[in-house]
């Protein structure tokens, strides 16, 4: 049975390789990020209109619903505004003391923005590269291995942002930060396994694609967040949704004979996994 997605939402029909295979990719969020960064780096507080332009950009508008405007403003000021650099340590301390998701997540957000600052030329080149490699085609095939459907009629819209995480929302959100090109040893490992340097990002996109496609075929009626049953239902849902998602990319790359198992990024992935019981 084909997974029939609405063409109005997912505008690229499936088929063979195309000259520009990723026509549903949107990079306006990347442009909005560098625009607000240019203001902050001049040690000037952005105007309300400038902040509005950032938060209304594709990708950030949805993340704003999840994290809140104040959180993003504080993180961006702490990394990019010279007179506010002391905010970073305080932000990590404050959220760490509160515990929960943002307690362990905030350092990753700040580190991601710093990486973006350090690798901005690489990011610009990466955006151009993303327009030509068939990421969505390969990611969809991998995601469907864990779903009852066997093919997609359309690929999803994808909004790219500068952020240390991605989301399987509709449209999908893919975060970029610093240079993630595999070093020679990891690239050699990938080649031995019949893959290329794009494989880790393909797997990440497949992870998020699974979330998105699963959401179209599995209807879960969640109660309000203050309902007594919400924590249990949320946990059960996350065990399947993130558990399978991690089988797609993290198990393949960061554990066992995965080509990134010995990388620095592995420590971050394992740290996230160790934090999950506390989050639950």
pTM, whole model, 2 decimals? 0.85
- pLDDT grade for 280, boundaries at 50, 70 and 90: low
Percent of the chain with pLDDT over 90: 66
Which pLDDT belongs to residue 218? 75
Tokens standing for residue 270? 């394992």
How far CA 94 is from CA of 59, 99, 115, 125, 157, in Å, comes to 26, 9, 22, 36, 36
How many angstroms separate the CA atoms of 136 and 158, rounded? 9
**Which residues, other chains included, contact 13 with Cβ-Cβ below 8 Å and sequence gap of 6+?**
7, 153, 154
Among all chains, which residue has been given the structure tokens 């499936």?
14
pLDDT tens digits, one per residue of 53-103: 999 999 999 999 999 999 999 999 999 999 999 999 999 999 999 988 899
Which pLDDT belongs to residue 106? 97
Element (H, E) at 160: strand 158-162
């Amino acid at each position: 049975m084909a997974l029939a997605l609405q063409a109005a939402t997912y505008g690229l029909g499936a088929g063979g390789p195309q000259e520009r295979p990723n026509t549903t990719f949107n990079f306006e969020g990347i442009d909005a990020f560098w625009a607000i960064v240019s203001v902050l780096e001049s040690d000037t507080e952005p105007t309300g209109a400038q902040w509005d332009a950032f938060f209304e950009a594709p990708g950030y508008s949805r993340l704003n619903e999840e994290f809140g405007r104040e959180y993003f403003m504080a993180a961006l000021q702490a990394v990019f505004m010279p007179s506010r650099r002391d905010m970073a340590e305080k932000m990590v301390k404050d959220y760490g003391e509160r515990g929960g998701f943002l307690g362990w997540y905030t350092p990753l957000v700040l580190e991601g923005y710093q990486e973006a600052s350090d690798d901005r030329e690489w990011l610009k080149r990466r955006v151009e590269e993303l327009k030509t490699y068939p990421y969505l085609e390969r990611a969809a095939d991998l995601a469907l291995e864990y779903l009852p459907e066997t093919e997609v009629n359309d690929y999803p819209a994808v909004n790219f942002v500068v952020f240390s995480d991605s989301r399987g929302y509709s449209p999908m959100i893919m975060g970029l930060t610093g240079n993630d090109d595999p070093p020679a040893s990891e690239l050699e490992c990938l080649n031995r396994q019949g893959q290329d340097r794009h494989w880790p990002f393909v797997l990440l996109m497949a992870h998020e694609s699974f979330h998105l496609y699963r959401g179209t075929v599995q209807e879960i009626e969640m109660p309000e967040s203050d309902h007594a049953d919400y924590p249990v239902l949320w946990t059960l849902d996350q065990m399947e949704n993130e558990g399978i998602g991690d089988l797609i990319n993290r198990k393949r790359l960061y554990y066992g004979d995965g080509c990134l198992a010995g990388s620095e990024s592995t420590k971050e992935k394992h740290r996230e996994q160790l934090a999950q019981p506390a989050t639950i």
